[in-house]
Amino acid sequence: MLGRTLREVSAALKQGQVTPTELCQRCLSLIKKTKFLNAYITVSEEVALKQAEESEKRYKKGLSLGDLDGIPVAVKDNFSTAGIETTCASNMLKGYVPPYNATVVQKLLDQGALLMGKTNLDEFAMGSGSTDGIFGPVKNPWSYSKQYREKRKQKSHGENEDSDWLITGGSSGGSAAAVSAFTCFAALGSDTGGSTRNPAAHCGVVGLKPSYGLVSRHGLIPLVNSMDVPGTLTRCVDDAATVLGILAGHDPKDSTTIQDPVKPFTLPSLTDVSKLCIGIPKEYLTPALSSEVRSLWSKAANLFESEGAKVIEVSLPHTSYSIVCYHVLCTSEVASNMARFDGLEYGHRCDTDVSTEAMYAATRREGFNDVKL
C-alpha cells in the first residue's frame, strides 16, 4: 500500500480498502524503522493521528475534502507550520514555533492531507547535499538497497559499513528521502537553484520546481527571494501534476504570485506527440556535460522523433549571462536575508552583553554554520 501513487491510494481510501488511520500508522511505523536515514527533524505523530481520525469521519459520511484526504505528506523544515517547530536545520531558529501555516502547507491541510512531520535539509536551504544542517546529514535510502550493498561488497576494502552511505542531494534531501523510503506519498521542498530537482534525481523520485509566481512563497523562510519557489516531490509525474494543481494559484499574501485564476492542472495525454516541436538549446551541450547525460538526452530526443515529433536545435544566447546573474543575485540576497538574524528581533541570541557589536558577532557565530558566516 505504501508504494502506491496518490491516485491509487486515494482510490483505496474511497473504496474502504484502507482507512486514513491505518495508512497513517503504517507510515509512522516506517518512519521509526528508517530513523537512521535522518530524513525527519520533527515527527508530528499526535497531529497526524488526529488529522487521520478527522479524515476517517469524513470518509464515513462521504464528505472527502479532495484527492489528498487521508494521505500522509511531509514538509521541508523551512516552511512555517502553526504549532510545530520550524528550525531551517539551524541553531539560529531552533525552538521557533510559528503561529501560522505557510500558504502551501495550508492548502495541503485544506485537502485533508496528514502532516507526518518536518524534513531535514541543508541549513536555511543553502546547500546541495543535505549534509550541513545541525541535525546531521540525510542518508539516501538507496544506500541500503540490495543492489548497492552487493556492489559495494565487491569493491570494499575493510571500509566501515556505518560510513558507507550515499548523499540525497539537497537542499530538500529530507523530503526526497521521505518519499523515496515510502514514509509519505508526497512532500514539499523548496527550490532556488535545484534544491528540489537535485535530491529528486539522487533519490529516484519526481521533483518539480514550478514557474516563479505560480505557487505562493508566503510562509517559506526565504533564502533568495528572487528565485525561491516551493517545489514538490512525488513518486510519479501524475502525482506531481495532482499536487501542483492543489498548490498553484494567486495568493493575496504574496504579491509575486500570478493574478490570473489558475485552472486545475491535469496531465495531458501524450499518446500522440506528432504535433509537438521540441527545441534543444545548443548552449546546453557544453564540453563539461557528462557522456552519460549527453547519451540520455540524445536517447530522449530520438524517442520523440521516432514517435513523429519534430526535434530542432535552438539558441538561447544569453545562457552564460543567466549563470552570472544567478550567482550575483544568490550571494547578495542570501547575505541580505541572513542579516536579519542579529539576536535583536527573533531567533537565537547569545549571552554576551559587552556591546551590541560583540552580541551581534557572538549570536551569529553560535547560530550559523561556517557556510553562512
The secondary structure element, H or E, covering residue 333 is helix 319-338
- What is the per-residue pLDDT across 250-308, written as a single tens digit (0 to 9) for each? 999 999 998 765 555 555 666 788 888 999 999 998 888 999 989 999 999 999 999 99
pLDDT digits (tens, 9 = 90+) for 129-158: 999 999 999 999 999 998 888 887 777 665
| Grid coordinates given for 16 | 474502504
Pairing of strands 229-234, 206-208: antiparallel
| Residue carrying the nine cell digits 536579519 | 340
Which of 128, 159, 235 is CA-nearest to residue 151? 159
Please write the tens of the pLDDT for every residue from 342-362: 998 878 999 998 999 999 999
Q: What is the CB neighbour count within 10 angstroms for residue 24?
A: 24
d(CA 289, CA 200): 19
Answer whether 125's CB lies under 8 Å from 171's CB.
yes
| pLDDT higher than 70, residue 42 | yes
The answer to whether 162 and 194 have CB atoms below 8 angstroms apart is no
Q: How many CA atoms lie within 13 A of 280 on its CB side?
A: 17
- Continuous H helices in 34-91: 45-61
Of 25, 1, 4, 73, the C-alpha closest to 246 is 73
d(CA 253, CA 233): 24
Cα separation, 91 vs 363, in Å, equals: 10
The residues annotated with a catalytic role in the active site are: 76, 171, 195
Task: Compute the C-alpha angle 173/177/178, nearest 5°.
Answer: 115
Q: Which three cell numbers stand for residue 157?
A: 576494502
Q: Is 328 exposed, middle or buried (0-12, 13-18, 19+ CB in 10 A)?
A: exposed
Which pTM was predicted? 0.92
Q: 305 or 163, which is more confident? A: 305
